[in-house]
Amino acid sequence: MSLKTALSRIRSIPELQKRYNIFINIDPSAEKRLVDNADKELPLSHLVAGIKDNIVTKDLPTTCASKILETYQSPYDATCVRRLREAGVVIAGKTNLDEFGMGSGGIHSHFGPVLNPLYPSTKITAGGSSSGSAAAVAAGAVDFALGTDTGGSVRLPAAFNAVLGFKPSYGRISRYGVVAYAQSLDTVGILSKGMPVLRKVYNVLNEYDSKDPTSLSNDLRKKANKLFKEKGKLRIGIPQEFLQASISADYKNLFFRFIKELMDMGHEFYPVTIPSVKDSLPIYYTLSPAEAVSNLSRYDGIRYGTRADTTDIENGTLFAPTRANFGREVQDRIILGNYNLCSETFKNNYVKAQKLRVGLMNDFDEIFRGPNIISNSKGNVSGVDLIISLTATGPPSTIESFTSAENSSPTNEYLNDVFTMPMSLAGLPTLSIPLGNDVPLGVQVTAQFADDETVLNFADRIV
């Protein structure tokens, strides 16, 4: 990557920001940092990055796109940010998102919606919640961006902006300094236009971190390296549950044309079924708000962010005036999470969802050839190495229709992630690959837990 390209990316940002509302905070010293570091030869020298604004940075505020954290400034860098800086990356700014990562349209931000750069003259959503990260890459403002993916938030916007979006296996990239939404699902992901950059960034971030209790241990990393060797021709499964009738004929045709190209390369295809996929949406929307509710309880205005200046109690409720600063979607999730955790519903909702989640993980284990190093399933000798599906059920909509559909029913928005949530619930490595230049459509390629290499090697050959 050349210094010249990096400079032109940074200089393009003010104009792109005006058009697409990509960033929440832009670093005014990015150009100087780039020039000061110009002669250093580091693995990621001359690469410009955008960092989703729920990942903490010590030189720029971290708002999570929320009014409640509008002025919050972290005293430290997240591990992933520190590693990027040490490898020579210059951070251009913090990218816009759905508040606390909750959403799939990039519209639930205190700082206004992100617009999709593939459509310069119409207001189309960029997907969410890593909307700004995907738009930053698509618009050419950065070489790559970090996002977070809890149920699809890297892959969906990647597909809608026609860029690559990689969600590694749960635990591969440190979550230390990533503001928790639902910690059993949260994963840091990478968005870029090409595989070489994505690979290099992943190599820098794919390290054990003792500060993250869920970081994959060095022993398990070694075990995975030994088990999952480079494979030539692959056995690829097409999960039947993802071929829904609601997908348009155009989308299906593009998908099957892609499969045909892969067959011509010698890969073998098999229909597979993952029956528990049908449970993914209810499992996700039972567990993720329950985890979110406990994570969001720290925002009382005392330790972080803004505190109501009049009183801490309203109608007998502690912190109500401060917490009124949460946006509508976040407030809805708090109600949902508390409901799922309250004594009357806990067993029937939360515990049941946990059981169903294990069922889904087992279903995945049954179709993969490789073993699962966490569940210790042995692998299915006649199973597949990868599964492939579309990333989204349809194209991105206009901001206007997205907002009105959402008003009539929040489940319409929740349905955007039906194809991405199952992989999150099972912690699997998965990459959304654009199906064409500037076409807002992606295919999602997924492998067994910890077999991130098979996903990346496969993409290296076709992107």
Q: Which is nearer to ligand GLN, 152 or 396 (CB)?
A: 152
Tell me if residue 401 is catalytic: no
Q: 252 to 291, contacts with ligand GLN by CB under 6 A?
A: 288
According to the binding rule CB under 6 A, does residue 239 interact with ligand GLN? no
| 369-408 footprint of ligand GLN as x/- string (CB under 6 A) | ----------------------------------------
Q: Which is nearer to ligand GLN, 151 or 337 (CB)?
A: 151
Q: CA 93 from chain center: how many Å?
A: 18
According to the binding rule CB under 6 A, does residue 93 interact with ligand GLN? no
Q: Could you say which of 45, 104, 109, 129 is catalytic? A: 129
| 5-44 footprint of ligand GLN as x/- string (CB under 6 A) | ----------------------------------------
Gyration radius (Cα) of the chain, Å? 21
For the CB of residue 105, give the shortest distance to ligand GLN in the complex, in Å: 9
In angstroms, the CA 189 to CA 101 distance is 13
In angstroms, the CA 175 to CA 188 distance is 7
In angstroms, the CA 81 to CA 208 distance is 14
Amino acid code (one letter) for 368: F
- Strand-pairing partners, residue 389, are 444
For residue 66, whether the previous peptide bond is cis, meaning omega lies within 30 degrees of 0, is no
In angstroms, the CA 279 to CA 395 distance is 24
For the CB of residue 153, give the shortest distance to ligand GLN in the complex, in Å: 3
Contact residue for ligand GLN among 153, 349, 372, 389 (CB under 6 A): 153
Cα 328 to Cα 188, 281, 410, 413, 458: the distances in Å are: 25, 21, 11, 14, 41
- Tell me which residue has its CB nearest to ligand GLN: 153
Contact residue for ligand GLN among 50, 88, 93, 103 (CB under 6 A): 103
- Strand-pairing partners, residue 52, are 95
Q: Which is nearer to ligand GLN, 66 or 322 (CB)?
A: 66
In angstroms, the CA 80 to CA 457 distance is 23
Q: Could you say which of 45, 52, 167, 389 is catalytic? A: 52
Instruction: Please work out, in degrees rounded to the nearest 5, the angle formed at the alpha carbon of residue 98 by the alpha carbons of 331 and 418.
Output: 90
Which residues are marked as active site?
52, 129, 153
Question: Binding residues for ligand GLN, per CB under 6 A?
Answer: 101-104, 129, 148-153, 181, 288, 417
